[in-house]
Amino acid sequence: MPLILLLATAPVRADIAPLRPTGAESQAGPLGASAAVALGAVEGVTEFLPVSSTGHLIVVSSALGLEREEPLHDAKGRALWLKPPSAKHPAGVPLTLKNAADAFTVIIQFGAIAAVALLYWRQLVAMLNGLLGRDAAGRRLLANVLVAFVPAAAVGLLAHGFIEEKLFSIPAVIAAQVAGALLMWWAERHTARAASPGKLTPMAEASGASLNLAQAAGIGALQCLALWPGTSRSMTAIVGGRLAGLGPRAAAEFSFLLGFVTLTAATAFKSYSSGAGMIAAFGWPHILLGCAVATVTAALSVRFLVNWLVRYGLMLFVWYRIAFAALLGGLLATGFFK
């Protein structure tokens, strides 16, 4: 799958018009339709699988040539700004293709959010009813999701500048892929021993509402590792749920609900901070196209993951991550990533 993923992006480079300082591109010029489809498909397929959507999107963005740092201009030649000139930034911070593409890969997470809303609307309604005092189980589930959300949200807000500057790179993704594989391998062995005959935990067939707040906080603490691109938010949530005693289905479904909250917050924040510049650079049509593709592929990916985990566990993704890391290492050594 990694090789197919990378090779499939090669012809899309033609969709990316060369940047001109005078701004001769059309509003959607720097990002073609096939590039938007490729990014949307990668986001949807990988967002809920324990393989890291961020890591894959960094790789695909690099393969598509979306890492360039030239300032972008609109069709009339006017500079586009990530941060307009102000008292805090007298010279302003120009919008580049790289940070516009980074914003795009976050904002198309709206597609993954929509997929969870469509597939798990009953649980979301139960959580809403719990908030209104109408559903005790929904209230417990909501409390657990929010407690698990807080640690990574707090660390992410404090460290997002450092993370984007230091960790958004191919070598960082390679290291995170290997580290995540080792964590999943260890968790798979640990939970297999716990689930051996006569050792089934009381929560093996429970749901996310059955977690206590300490267990939810433990999952949240593990989520902080997912701030390292290439680690996987889904992976840390599933591993945390399994270590807390949840069965494969319940752990996966809790990760989806936690992802719904996490992705909504991250996407809203990125939309507020960088959305206007990204829209000016890429135009609405390609953004909506990427979101639509992400919705469909994320829904299919969620269904696949639940069925696979129930039958076979996490080992497929352990070997996938190792193979992907090896492929990236080989490509990096040959100079594929500029």
Tens-digit pLDDT profile for the chain (338 aa)?
A: 443 343 333 333 333 333 333 333 333 346 888 999 999 999 999 999 999 998 999 889 988 888 888 788 777 778 888 788 888 878 888 888 888 888 899 899 999 999 999 999 999 999 999 999 999 999 999 999 999 999 999 998 888 888 877 888 889 999 999 999 999 999 999 887 655 444 444 455 568 899 999 999 999 999 999 999 999 999 999 999 999 999 999 999 999 999 999 999 989 988 888 888 788 788 889 999 999 999 999 999 999 999 999 999 999 999 999 999 999 999 999 988 76
Specify the 3-state DSSP secondary structure of 127: helix
Q: Tell me, what's the pLDDT at 281?
A: 80
Q: Tell me, what's the pLDDT at 10?
A: 37
Domain count, the chain: 1
Strands 81-83 and 93-94: antiparallel
Q: Tell me, what's the pLDDT at 273?
A: 81
Following DSSP, what letter does each residue of 241-293 receive, concatenated? HHHTT--HHHHHHHHHHHHHHHHHHHHHHHHHHHHHHHHHHH-HHHHHHHHHH
Distance between CA atoms of residues 27 and 332, nearest Å = 32
Determine, yes or no, domain membership for 51. Answer: yes
Q: Tell me, what's the pLDDT at 194?
A: 59
Burial of residue 269, with CB atoms counted within 10 A of its CB: 0-12 exposed, 13-18 middle, 19 or more buried: middle
pTM comes to: 0.85
Determine, yes or no, domain membership for 223. Answer: yes
Determine, yes or no, domain membership for 192. Answer: yes
Determine, yes or no, domain membership for 338. Answer: no
Determine, yes or no, domain membership for 205. Answer: yes
Domain of 151 in residue numbering reads as 2-333
Residue with tokens 């429970």: 206
Q: Tell me, what's the pLDDT at 13?
A: 35
